[in-house]
Amino acid sequence: MRHGLGEGFVSIVGAGPGDPELITVKALKAIRAADVILYDRLVNVELLTYGDSLAERIYCGKAPGRHAMTQDMIQRRMIDSALEGKRVVRLKGGDPFVFGRGGEEALALAARGIPYEVIPGITSAIGAAAASGIPLTHRGVAASFACVTGSRCPGAETGEDGEDGGSPAVQWELLAHAVDTLVIYMGVSQLKEIRSELLRHGKAASTPVALIESGTTRRQRTFTSTLGEVHKLAAAVQISNPALIVIGAAVLVRDQLAQLERQAASMIG
């Protein structure tokens, strides 16, 4: 242990969307200095190799319905280690404050007077969209985007990692019209309900949709369809977690890019 009693400190750290190189320099420094690393299921385990060989690595993963540690246990562990004078890194997929329960953890630390910091990460919407050639805003096409949880759809079960179903209901009727690009987290198991909600509230069946599985990783798969047809595609390709649903005309830019790249390649070839 590098710290005396009372010198404990917690860093709530975003690990980025999957590709381990997409972590920030600041986050990497925090991992290197940590005595204890509490990490989530969506964190690329390659990042743990940057920690000190003596650092304790504790898995806190939460798959839907299967929790290695409850949120209470994680917070207690974080607080206890900090009170022992340790440097604690609470490592979370994407950004800790986007469906990551980082806010709750910060509140728990603040309530105990434990010094902490929050180090942002690239959230999966940003990472996966970039890696799929989908600009979330695009001149003349999309002037706004929203990150939305799909786990609050009618009939939804509790969410996974991050958020566990305690957030307020999503206002699909407003989102259907007020936002140009919708990025839905934790929505794949609720795809049919989300699709129906949006169609029911007047979103056009022709609206382009992308499904992005394991964005920014070597296993990434991106598929495009329309709101009217997307549930069939999801079933056909057996889309699985972690995955995002991106809805809006900006999705078409992916196909434009692919077409231009093909044309350019054939001109060179």
- Residues carrying an active site annotation: 40, 62, 186
Residue nearer to ligand SAH on the CB measure, 83 or 107: 107
Selection from 115, 113, 83, 85 nearest residue 12 by Cα: 115
The minimum distance between CB 32 and ligand SAH, in angstroms, equals 22
CA-based angle 152:154:157, to the nearest 5?
Answer: 60
Distance of alpha carbon 81 from alpha carbon 38, whole angstroms = 11
β-sheet bridge partners, residue 87: 9
The minimum distance between CB 93 and ligand SAH, in angstroms, equals 5
By the rule CB under 6 A, 17 interacts with ligand SAH? yes
Residue nearer to ligand SAH on the CB measure, 20 or 162: 162
Q: Please identify which residue in the block is written with the tokens 């692919």.
A: 258
The minimum distance between CB 215 and ligand SAH, in angstroms, equals 3
Selection from 146, 174, 155, 161 nearest residue 246 by Cα: 146
By the rule CB under 6 A, 100 interacts with ligand SAH? yes
By the rule CB under 6 A, 41 interacts with ligand SAH? no
Strands (E), the chain: 9-14, 36-39, 56-59, 62-63, 66-67, 87-92, 116-119, 145-149, 181-185, 208-213, 221-226, 243-247
The residues, any chain, with a CB within 8 Å of residue 86's CB and separated by 6 or more, are: 1, 3, 8, 35, 36
By the rule CB under 6 A, 42 interacts with ligand SAH? yes
Half-sphere exposure of 208 (CA within 13 A, CB side): 18
CA-based angle 19:21:24, to the nearest 5?
Answer: 115
By the rule CB under 6 A, 244 interacts with ligand SAH? yes
The minimum distance between CB 45 and ligand SAH, in angstroms, equals 14
The minimum distance between CB 7 and ligand SAH, in angstroms, equals 29
Q: Candidates 73-81, 135-143, 229-237, 242-250: pick the segment binding ligand SAH (CB under 6 A).
A: 242-250
**169 DSSP assignment:** P
Residue nearer to ligand SAH on the CB measure, 171 or 240: 240
By the rule CB under 6 A, 241 interacts with ligand SAH? yes
Residue nearer to ligand SAH on the CB measure, 8 or 94: 94
Residue ranges in contact with ligand SAH by CB under 6 A: 17-18, 42, 92-95, 98-100, 123-124, 128, 160-162, 185-186, 212, 214-217, 241-244
